[in-house]
Amino acid sequence: MIFSNYPVILLFDLSLRLRRVSLINKLNQQISRLREQAAALDKQLLDQRQETSEQWFDPHIFRTRAQFASPYVEELEQTKQQWIQDPSPQRTALLEQRLTQQLEALSRTLAWRLAPKPRKPAQQSMTREQTLQRLRDTLQQYHQYERRLDNMLATATTISAKQQTEQRLNRCQQAINDIQAKLRRYEEK
């Protein structure tokens, strides 16, 4: 009588194994797709000579700290391997959760980073000469403010008015210095 349910248990076990194999195949396909996307993004970052210094992911999702996407795919692959090989049900549940979080996070990030960036409208993009001219105009306007503030400082009658005018003059002069520095940088390009 003990073995009367034995075929049912075997069928159930076989069904679970088939589902797990199917799930592993789907995971392999997803990871393969993410690996291709990561390679494309890494190439794009290298071509643009862009390095990302910010953290891509929360530390509890990925332990990896990298400037490119491929190392994150490798960590995802390692998590999958641990999940496949670990016999402990409790650890398997934790690894499933981590695997799901990593898959979702990496998929979202790669989709976002590979998405075409919207271009600025033509009137917003300025040429180098237009930028230089705008900075020169702004500088001229700030010099006019500076002259007016000098006059106001010379004619101020109270200590409070002098202090306020001096503060405004200092901020104006700092803005002039900033604009001059920007102009120098643009002219050197």
Over residues 35-64, the pLDDT tens digits come to 998 898 888 888 777 655 567 888 888 888
| Contact assessment for residue 64 and residue 71, using Cβ atoms and an 8 Å cutoff | yes
| Contact assessment for residue 101 and residue 61, using Cβ atoms and an 8 Å cutoff | yes
Residue 67, Cβ neighbours under 10 Å: how many? 13
Tell me which of 65-74, 84-93, 145-154 is least confident.
Answer: 84-93
| Contact assessment for residue 45 and residue 52, using Cβ atoms and an 8 Å cutoff | yes
Q: How far apart are CA 110 and CA 69, in angstroms?
A: 8
Instruction: Report pLDDT for 153.
Output: 85
| Contact assessment for residue 56 and residue 107, using Cβ atoms and an 8 Å cutoff | no
Tell whether the model's pLDDT for residue 88 goes beyond 70. yes
Tell whether the model's pLDDT for residue 138 goes beyond 90. yes
Q: How far apart are CA 60 and CA 43, in angstroms?
A: 27
Chain segment 152-186, per-residue pLDDT in tens: 888 888 888 889 889 999 999 999 999 999 888 88
Instruction: Report pLDDT for 15.
Output: 59
Chain segment 96-135, per-residue pLDDT in tens: 888 888 988 888 888 888 877 776 555 556 688 888 899 9
Q: What is the H or E stretch that residue 160 is in?
A: helix 159-188
Instruction: Report pLDDT for 171.
Output: 92
Choose between 1 and 127: higher pLDDT: 127
| Contact assessment for residue 47 and residue 58, using Cβ atoms and an 8 Å cutoff | no
Reduce the DSSP state of residue 72 to 3 states and report it: helix
